[in-house]
Amino acid sequence: MHRFYLPPEQCQSDPLVLTGSQAHHAADVLRLKPGESVAVLDGAGGEFHCRVSSVEQKKIHLDVETLISEPAPACRITLAQAIPKGQIFDSIVQKATELGVWRVVPLLSERVTTRLEGEAAERKREKWRQTAVEAIKQCGQRWLPRIETPVALAAWLKAGETFEMSLLGSLEEDRRHAREHFAAFERRWQRRPASVCVWIGPEGDFAPAEVGAIRQSGALPITMGPLILRSETAATFALSIINYELQAPW
């Protein structure tokens, strides 16, 4: 079943209406015809199973047949990711979306060569958001992650946001397997964390002073194995571990 995305405010009526690039893709690429079944995701837990009622030049009308509502995840995962060179961040957003993150925070750290601010930063954020939209359509994820505007690491730390568990991908000697931190949390609280943040550095990792500041904020260093991973691989690796720990039988 082909999937489309409409923001929640456009999913309040029946029929639903695809316009713009979504209508173009439906009519000119997929060649949808009246009577065919499609799904529409609203990015806020809703999946609408619809039937095409009419195909116009710039509009596709969809009659809603059923609605599946999925509650917000029990644990909201934030990926605090330093921005790597080139277009790699697009792939990171895609994989993070597939792995169920709640939010992606693009960090400008000392060793990040990309410098984004003002309109350029907002354009990048919107581009990454569209990458996330395409990812939920591909994988069927019903919750669209929030993509933040790029922010300096020091500024985000200064904001003082807290998480029930904060993990730092690390090469330091005292790093531990994420499982140990999850087990310790569960022993203490008799439940799993409701919010997790995982910090991933850029090429060359976070600078020593940044590592110290992140750890001072409460982040626990975790191992990613004996090899030095690329930034995008480390993000996927860490999110996979977190998903495994959160989804394992209680």
How far out from the chain centre does Cα 37 lie? 27
Question: Can you give the pTM of this predicted structure?
Answer: 0.93
Portions of the chain given CATH number 3.40.1280.10: 76-247
Residue 203 and residue 86 in contact, taking contact as beta carbons nearer than 8 Å: no
Q: Tens-of-pLDDT digits for all 250 residues of the chain? A: 899 999 999 999 889 999 998 999 898 899 999 999 999 999 999 999 999 999 987 899 999 999 999 999 999 999 999 998 878 999 999 999 999 999 999 999 988 877 777 788 889 999 999 999 999 999 999 999 999 999 999 999 999 899 999 999 998 889 999 999 999 999 999 999 999 999 999 988 999 999 999 999 999 999 988 888 999 999 999 999 999 999 877 6
| CATH architecture, domain defined by 2-69 | Beta Barrel (2.40)
Residue 71: asked if its preceding bond is cis (omega within 30°), the reply is no
| Cα distance between residue 44 and residue 48, in whole Å | 12
Q: What are the b/e assignments for 9-48, b being 16+ CB within 10 Å?
A: eebeeeebebeeebbebbbeeeebeeebebbbbbbebbbb
Portions of the chain given CATH number 2.40.240.20: 2-69
Q: Which CATH number fits domain 76-247: 3.40.1280.10, 3.40.50.1580, 3.90.1200.10, 1.10.260.40?
A: 3.40.1280.10
What CA–CA distances, in Å, run from 208 to 120, 150, 204, 220, 235? 28, 21, 11, 15, 20
